[in-house]
Amino acid sequence: MIKFAPDLEKIPESGAGSQCRCSNKTYVTIATMKVLRTVSSLQEAMESCRRAGQTIGLVPTMGALHDGHLSLMKRARADNDVVVASVFVNPTQFNNQTDLLTYPRTEEADCAALETAGVDFAFIPSVEEIYPEPDTRTFDLGPVAQVMEGAMRPGHFNGVAQIVSKLFSMVGPTRAYFGEKDFQQIAVIRRMAQLEDFDFDIVACPIVRESDGLAMSSRNVRLTPEQRAVAPTIHRVLAESLDLARTASVAEVKQWVKERIDATPFMSTEYYEIVNPLTMQPTDCWLTPDGPATGCITVYCGDVRLIDNITYKI
Ligand code: PAF
């Protein structure tokens, strides 16, 4: 059973809830996930875990959880004594009010999924709790934040840096987990962590896909059945472009991908860039000094904005 704890009274001794030994000598976990809504209850809980010498894995989310998120919880669960997931639709990272208002909110289902995933603490604050006054900080995120999503969504990455830096400070994790679907976001968070002297592991976890290849995303639920039927084209075209990349230039592959996506009903490419995997800067080489180039795409499928990426290990 989930316990809602506006102010935490008792921290469990073990990270994953209480465990009891059954007569057949197998261990069974009894879930005791706590839902925390205030920064002070979160900080108190984390302080207690640290005092007990426990490692803490943090998984920041905006809710509307799917198996992609749950793979992050699973990884955090395997790596740490204690797992904290935050569920907060962060207004400062939305540069489009309609996108903010239509962002799916499914708190009850999220809590059930987090508890099943073995999360110890779900931090679900209000906007007022996180931003008692406006956050006026501007982060010097540099070139990684100026291209692709940074160019298309002004202010987005600064908003991501604001909320993630707040969560990092509030939780003080041993490790924090992010999904590679938001490939550029990970580079931006690493840059923010460097600027703010957050000296812990930022763990990048692989994209989780539906069986037809569509990258899992909270926005997928907004696709109509007709749009959902064609949405897997994004990954299919990217995967097919790996073959072409063996014989074609970066410029040729970029054009080929865009033409195929744009020829698909409902779809229009916002950008397709092939970039250095660390600096996020466009490259002409399949193998950059920092590793294989990554293709990052954003596609409008109707009015739903979908992103995906692929690594050109060729
Ligand atoms: O990737 C997301 O869901 C969000 O950008 C994040 C990292 C939770 C910050 O709000």
Burial of residue 5 (CB within 10 Å: 0-12, 13-18, 19+) is middle
Report CA(12)–ligand 1 centroid distance (Å).
Answer: 28
CA–CA separation, 79 and 63 (whole Å): 22
Looking at per-residue pLDDT, the higher value among 26 and 115 belongs to 115
Q: Express each pLDDT in 99-154 by its tens digit.
A: 899 899 999 999 999 999 999 999 999 999 999 999 999 999 999 999 999 999 99
Q: Express each pLDDT in 56-79 by its tens digit.
A: 999 999 999 999 999 999 999 999
pLDDT at 31: 64
CA–CA separation, 77 and 71 (whole Å): 10
Atom of ligand 1 nearest to the CA of 167: 9
Determine which residue's CA is closest to atom 9 belonging to ligand 1. 160
- Token readout for 263 is 């020829």
AA letter at 200: F
Atom of ligand 1 nearest to the CA of 182: 1
Report CA(62)–ligand 1 centroid distance (Å).
Answer: 6
Q: What is the 3-state secondary structure (H, E, C) of the chain?
A: CCEEECCCCCCCCCCCCEEEECCCCCEEEECCCEEECCHHHHHHHHHHHHHCCCCEEEEEECCCCCHHHHHHHHHHHHHCCEEEEEECCCHHHCCCHHHHHHCCCCHHHHHHHHHHCCCCEEECCCHHHHCCCCCCCCCCCHHHHCCCHHHHCCCHHHHHHHHHHHHHHHHCCCEEEEEHHHHHHHHHHHHHHHHCCCCCEEEEECCCECCCCCECCHHHHHCCHHHHHHCCHHHHHHHHHHHHHCCCCHHHHHHHHHHHHHCCCCEEEEEEEEECCCCCCECCCCEECCEECEEEEEEEECCEEEEEEEECCC
CA–CA separation, 296 and 187 (whole Å): 13
- Token readout for 131 is 């931003």
Q: How far apart, in Å, are the Cα atoms of 242 and each of 253, 255, 259?
A: 9, 14, 16
Tell me: pLDDT of 29 over 60: no
Report CA(245)–ligand 1 centroid distance (Å).
Answer: 32
Determine which residue's CA is closest to atom 6 belonging to ligand 1. 61
Q: Which of 62, 69, 124, 198 to mutate to test the pocket of ligand 1 (most atoms within 8 A of CB)?
A: 62
CA–CA separation, 220 and 235 (whole Å): 14
Report CA(160)–ligand 1 centroid distance (Å).
Answer: 7
- Token readout for 242 is 């790996």
Q: Express each pLDDT in 139-195 by its tens digit.
A: 999 999 999 999 999 999 999 999 999 999 999 999 999 999 999 999 999 999 999
Atom of ligand 1 nearest to the CA of 88: 10
Q: Which of 105, 106, 163 to mutate to test the pocket of ligand 1 (most atoms within 8 A of CB)?
A: 163
Question: Which residues are annotated as catalytic?
Answer: 69
pLDDT at 2: 58
Evaluate if pTM is beyond 0.85. yes
Nearest-10 crossing angle of helices 250-262, 233-245: 150
Mean pLDDT, range 193-200, rounded to an integer: 98
Strands 27-30 and 18-21: antiparallel
Tell me: pLDDT of 11 over 60: no
Report CA(185)–ligand 1 centroid distance (Å).
Answer: 8
Q: Kindly list the protein residues whose Cβ atom lies closer than 6 A to any atom of ligand 1.
A: 60-62, 90, 93, 160, 163-164, 182, 185
Determine which residue's CA is closest to atom 8 belonging to ligand 1. 61
pLDDT at 5: 53
Strands 34-36 and 121-123: parallel
Report CA(60)–ligand 1 centroid distance (Å).
Answer: 6
Determine which residue's CA is closest to atom 5 belonging to ligand 1. 160
Tell me: pLDDT of 293 over 50: yes
Tell me: pLDDT of 10 over 80: no
Tell me: pLDDT of 15 over 50: no
Mean pLDDT, range 5-32, rounded to an integer: 44
pLDDT at 13: 34
Q: Which of 71, 93, 205 to mutate to test the pocket of ligand 1 (most atoms within 8 A of CB)?
A: 93
pLDDT at 3: 55
Atom of ligand 1 nearest to the CA of 61: 8
- Token readout for 133 is 């006054």
Nearest to 302 by CA among 216, 219, 208: 219
CA–CA separation, 214 and 228 (whole Å): 9
- Binned at pLDDT 50, 70 and 90, residue 30 comes out as low
Mean pLDDT of the chain: 92
Tell me: pLDDT of 7 over 80: no
Mean pLDDT, range 253-281, rounded to an integer: 98
Cβ partners under 8 Å of residue 6, min gap 6: 36, 37, 38, 41
